[in-house]
Structure 1
Amino acid sequence: MTDAADRTAGVVLAYHPTEEIRENVARLLTQVPRVYVVNNSPDAASRGLLAELGAERVEVLEQAGNVGVAAGFNAGMRAALDAGFDFVWIFDQDSTVADGMLDALLRAQARTDLKVGIVGPALRAAETGNVYDADRGQGSAPIEALISSGALFSRPLLDDIGLHDEALFIDYVDHDISLRAGRAGYTNLKVFDTLLDHRFGDSQPARFLWRQVYLSNYSPMRHYYTSRNRVIVARRFGYGRWLRDDIRFATKAWAKVLFCERDRAAKLGAFLRGLRDGLRYRGLDSDR
């Protein structure tokens, strides 16, 4: 490990984890000296599986229940910072860590031509192995918003902008902290020299018109938070490329929901309630 890698801790957010989390934690341990696993589903099955991770460099942080993505990540990040680490590298359990990923991220983080904010890898669809069009390139390049999984944060950045907004609970948590970094004068970077295999939702295959597509099959609750938090973040930061890209992605996702998924009425109702609550939301400048 490099000196910077020695000063980096990994954080993995677990929610009803499967055996796959073992491999992801093992891969992380080849690149960082310590991993904090945050258990957001402290039932007997989850506790048992995570207890079997067994590595002395792994610490499981049990939460009282499902405290949400933002609070879960924050619990792991606080533990890492309190332990003296200078960088925190966070993951959800649906992502696969690639060999050499941290070194690539740290090279971008060390750029001196700009004030570096959050650094994250390019994305590849775990289901198909296809690299998304926006994730093709070389080196690193500025981007408004990165997904949480695979994102690398420095201590000075977090001291400046704070941690994730726990009131958001889930969805757009990553947009919010990315856009806060940008507002504070930092430049977030996407690193094209390393790829994160990532799944969105259940990723079940289906036929839509003449094409095979993959369905996220998010619950009505997820659709509620997605709808609510999109409005909240748009009210906080205004219209930008991030919102244009997001609306384009959401339009495609909703076409699959309406034509291919079950419980469409419940999901649409949740979306409308989220839209209403996002417009009514008053905590636009809440402390984090």
Structure 2
Amino acid sequence: MTAGAAATQGAGRRLIAVVSSFRPTDELVRNVGLIAGQVDEVVVVDDGSGPDYGAVLDHVRAAGARVVALAENQGIAAALNAGLREAALAPEDLVVTFDQDSTVPEGFIAALVAQWDAGVRAGLAMGMVSPESFAGLRQVLRGADEHGFRHSREPIQSGSLVSGEVLAAAGYQREELFIDLVDIEYYLRLKRLGRACLVAPGLVLPHELGRTYPFTLLGRRIRLSGRQLTLSLSTPFRYYYRARSRVVINREYWRSDPALLSVDTLREIQHVLLVGLYAQPRGAIARVIARGLRDGWRGRMGKMPDDVAQTAARVSWRIDPL
């Protein structure tokens, strides 16, 4: 047991980190080293990167992680589930999940655990604890509850902590969603079960969401108060999964969280309109998104069909990233 982990544990409780990996670089080795000093064990699940990445994964093992290598790419949900099962969690154990490119500051996990324990002492039915800010975005609802806790608003899975008891009660990640909105579905599931999803006040996890591009109009960069306006664009194939998962999640959770999903859907529509402006060819990205919507409605889940992947591979962005 590390000194950092010992300071955050209750009697007999283990603290585990599960990290998803796909075609990793030495950045993963550095990040695992940062995490390993804060927990009892790190489990890295490589999601079918293949033999070319064996050397990097050997370095990950040397940095203190147990590595689970999946034979083929199965998506973020399946990778996280493989790591959670490998950890063999007892109900009292705590586990925090990370993306491979999350750089975890010293004391980060201890802050999550402290907020978890505070919630337990207050008698809350705990579901999850997440950082207040991720990639520069606040993921917190307005106002505090009667105990003074701030609750999260759709936290990203990277940097979020749950317990073995929560996983036993709520289940694991939805593997058929494959990648996008997997974390949002789990958050909504916990809320529907009456579980408290808290933020650790002031806690920040540095991260990047997609690549950042300048906002332009008629070929000119747009500034506001002297600052360049920007937007984040995902890899084109991700818009198939985003569209499909949005249909599935809206259909399943609309009755339990209509206000939140109304806002999310409006924002998604606005983003897709911008995607259409920046994509080339526009017809290709439109077909990718339309197929995602159709497959979501029809319940066609799992990895995207080959023909959709081929269409998405033809799409590029009209502007260069910052």
TM surpasses 0.5: yes
Answer with 1 or 2: which has the greater Rg: 2
Q: 2:213 aligns with which of 179, 182, 205?
A: 205
- Which residue identity does 1:205 align to in structure 2? Y
In structure 2, C-alpha distance between the alignment counterparts of 1:19 and 1:73, rounded to whole Å: 20
> Would you say 1:258 and 2:267 are equivalent positions?
no
In structure 2, C-alpha distance between the alignment counterparts of 1:158 and 1:195, rounded to whole Å: 25
Query: 1:94-131 CA deviation, whole Å, 9 max, x = no partner?
Result: 32212211111111111133211111112243xxxx45
In structure 2, C-alpha distance between the alignment counterparts of 1:167 and 1:120, rounded to whole Å: 24
Say which SS state the counterpart of residue 53 (structure 1) adopts. Answer: helix
In structure 2, relative to structure 1, the CA distance for the partners of 1:184 and 1:247 (3 Å cut) is same
> Would you say 1:4 and 2:9 are equivalent positions?
yes
Q: How far off its partner does 1:63 sit? A: 0.2
Q: How far off its partner does 1:150 sit? A: 0.7
Residue pairs, 1:36-185, within 5 angstroms:
36-55=43-62, 57-81=64-88, 86-110=93-117, 111=119, 112-113=121-122, 114-125=124-135, 130-132=136-138, 140-185=149-194
Higher relative contact order (CA 8 A, sep 6+): 1
Identify the residue that residue 247 of structure 1 maps to in structure 2.
Answer: 265
Q: How far off its partner does 1:7 sit? A: 1.3
Q: 1:235 aligns with which of 251, 260, 265?
A: 251
Identify the residue that residue 216 of structure 1 maps to in structure 2.
Answer: 233
In structure 2, C-alpha distance between the alignment counterparts of 1:23 and 1:261, rounded to whole Å: 34
CA contact (8 A) 2:8 2:114 kept: no
Unaligned runs of 5+ in 2: 223-227, 302-322
Residue pairs, 1:23-34, within 5 angstroms:
23-34=30-41
CA contact (8 A) 2:139 2:154 kept: no
Q: How far off its partner does 1:253 sit? A: 2.9
Query: 1:4-37 CA deviation, whole Å, 9 max, x = no partner?
Result: 2871111110111122112211110120121111
Query: 1:210-260 CA deviation, whole Å, 9 max, x = no partner?
Result: 13414323223x111111111111111114343234234424532442223
CA contact (8 A) 1:104 1:194 kept: yes
Identify the residue that residue 22 of structure 2 maps to in structure 1.
Answer: 15
Q: 1:278 aligns with which of 285, 289, 296?
A: 296
In structure 2, C-alpha distance between the alignment counterparts of 1:197 and 1:136, rounded to whole Å: 22
In structure 2, relative to structure 1, the CA distance for the partners of 1:181 and 1:134 (3 Å cut) is closer
Say which SS state the counterpart of residue 96 (structure 1) adopts. Answer: coil
RMSD: 2.6
Q: How far off its partner does 1:141 sit? A: 1.3
User: How many residue pairs align between the two structures?
Assistant: 277
- Which residue identity does 1:259 align to in structure 2? L
Task: State TM-score, norm by structure 2.
Answer: 0.77
CA contact (8 A) 1:13 1:40 kept: yes
Unaligned runs of 5+ in 1: 284-288
Query: 1:38-93 CA deviation, whole Å, 9 max, x = no partner?
Result: 10133223222111224373111000111111100000111112589811110112
In structure 2, relative to structure 1, the CA distance for the partners of 1:263 and 1:46 (3 Å cut) is farther
| Percent of aligned pairs with the same amino acid | 32
In structure 2, relative to structure 1, the CA distance for the partners of 1:240 and 1:104 (3 Å cut) is farther
In structure 1, C-alpha distance between the alignment counterparts of 2:54 and 2:143, rounded to whole Å: 40
In structure 2, relative to structure 1, the CA distance for the partners of 1:17 and 1:252 (3 Å cut) is farther
Q: Which stretch shows the higher mean deviation, 204-213 or 185-194?
A: 204-213
Query: 1:167-190 CA deviation, whole Å, 9 max, x = no partner?
Result: 111111111111111111211112
CA contact (8 A) 2:35 2:42 kept: yes
In structure 2, relative to structure 1, the CA distance for the partners of 1:227 and 1:169 (3 Å cut) is same
Say which SS state the counterpart of residue 88 (structure 1) adopts. Answer: strand
In structure 2, relative to structure 1, the CA distance for the partners of 1:248 and 1:196 (3 Å cut) is farther
Q: Which stretch shows the higher mean deviation, 255-264 or 269-278?
A: 255-264
Q: How far off its partner does 1:144 sit? A: 4.7
Q: How far off its partner does 1:276 sit? A: 1.4
- Which residue identity does 2:83 align to in structure 1? G
- Which residue identity does 2:196 align to in structure 1? T
Say which SS state the counterpart of residue 197 (structure 2) adopts. Answer: strand
Identify the residue that residue 286 of structure 1 maps to in structure 2.
Answer: none
In structure 1, C-alpha distance between the alignment counterparts of 2:91 and 2:190, rounded to whole Å: 22
Q: How far off its partner does 1:145 sit? A: 2.5
